Structure 1
Amino acid sequence: MDTQAGPLMFTSVLSTLIFYHVWMDTQTGPLVFSSVLSTLIFYHVWMDTQAGPLVFTSVLSTLIFYHVWMDTQAGPLVFTSVQPSLILYHVWMDTQTGPLVFTSVLPALIIYHVWMDTQTGPLVFTSVLPALIFYHVWIDTQVGPLVFTSVLSTLIFIHVWMETQVGPLVFTSVQPSLILYHVWMDTQAGPLVFTSVLPALIFYHVWMDKQAGPLVFTSVLPALIFYHVWMDTQTGPLVFTSVLSTLIFYHVWIDTLRLVH
């Protein structure tokens, strides 16, 4: 350590355990690994002793640990500071070895802010748990609209939203509207309700282009929104395919005529 002749290599579990306790007592500096073997040895020792969280101080050690963790599958990878989260994220983006899964709110919040700052690519979820965590984090921070870039993440989010019912689902681009429509048609979870003119207009153009089937309204609010959108754009005749939607639209139309006149 005094002469700095080279990296510190461990050759047995005993020597690693001895060094670990010595390092913890003296706190001379960060623990840096220079081979896969020493990292794997230290990881098993740390798992056994449970002395505290494992903190990385360089890209190399994080990359080594990540591959070791992927191989051993000992459990979820939990971060305790912004630095290792940022390091692992860039490592994961470069290697693309598999999906990034979060197990608590803290790392999800950390990686989200990191992702917003770096803007390296879309954030894709592969399970319900991280999507639910991210959603609550996003609702708390309110940094901007939530935009989806794949069918899988949208499908996960819609099921999460249906279960939590925290508020209306608002779209900000054509792609997620189209995705949700197909998801809704497949799952039949309930009626599709719009809460603003923009998503209604987006959905209408998407529907006109795709011609997936008739457009049926199940409440007064989306019918009223659609009517005003249709009146403004004048893209074509409005055709109903059921008694319910016709009846709803008729009452909406009668009410609006009274307001106008």
Structure 2
Amino acid sequence: MPNGQIMKALSGFYYVRSEGNLYPCKGRGNFRKKKVTPLVGDYVTFETDVNDEGYILGVQERRNELIRPPIANVDQAIVVASVVEPEFKTFLLDRFLVLVESKSIQPIIVFTKTDLASEQQMDQMEQYKRDYEALGYVVIMGSVKVEQNMEMIIPHLRGKTSVVAGQSGVGKSSLLNALHPSLAIETNDISKSLGRGKHTTRHVELIELEEGLVADTPGFSSLELHDIELETLRDYFPELKHYGEQCKFRGCMHHKEPKCAVKEAVASGLISAYRYNNYMQFYEDIQNRKPRY
């Protein structure tokens, strides 16, 4: 019985790559009973008929999975944020970072549309770049119109399964087109009335790119922190995890507790105030969310 990996899901078919070939497959009815839905990125067992069409029989255990976009077994996320159009917001970037790190996915930050930014905006973005690099993140900044900028991403793709994520309109599809022009992925301009981009990618597909696999995905329609608990949120902020080891109380949430080393680090400028404020906003979001039944 052959094994393979799902490379694309479209119109009820799962396209499974095995030994260099691509097989259109459908899921057996038993998946519905088991409440298992195959995802792009899944490693599966399948069978084929004389027409090289087949059925997926089993899904191997996943390392991780995302809901939006629906994909499994991701190594890293290229988190794209534009300097302008739409305007850069640390709140959104940090939310993406928390979401991907909660799935044990390594993030790489890419700031785009530098060619549209003013000198003042670029000075601010250079500071943000330094801030996030100091936390251990890889940060790449540039424009898809400058080939050398995008080449800096290539070494990070090799041997990895990557997902491209970010707010709608930041240039995810444009970035992939710049890396691999033959893709010719459709892109749209920012909607002037909404102030955000239109979704241009209609399905999830793993694309072979620079000796790795990359999924072009729709902009997240939801950034809810449904799967993250209050007790684990602090673990997805590297600086909070570092200074939190010095807090007086074990299990300190860095909120109202006395003698909190994290709050002291914020007060002394060792932790960026905007990062701590974003943490507290996420904390309140999780604390106030309605229970799911």
- Same fold at TM > 0.5: no
- Structure (1/2) with the larger strand percentage: 2
Select the structure that is richer in helix. 1
Instruction: Answer 1 or 2: higher relative contact order, Cα 8 Å, separation at least 6.
Output: 2
Relative to the length of structure 2, the TM-score reads: 0.23
- Between Structure 1 and Structure 2, whose CA radius of gyration is higher? 1
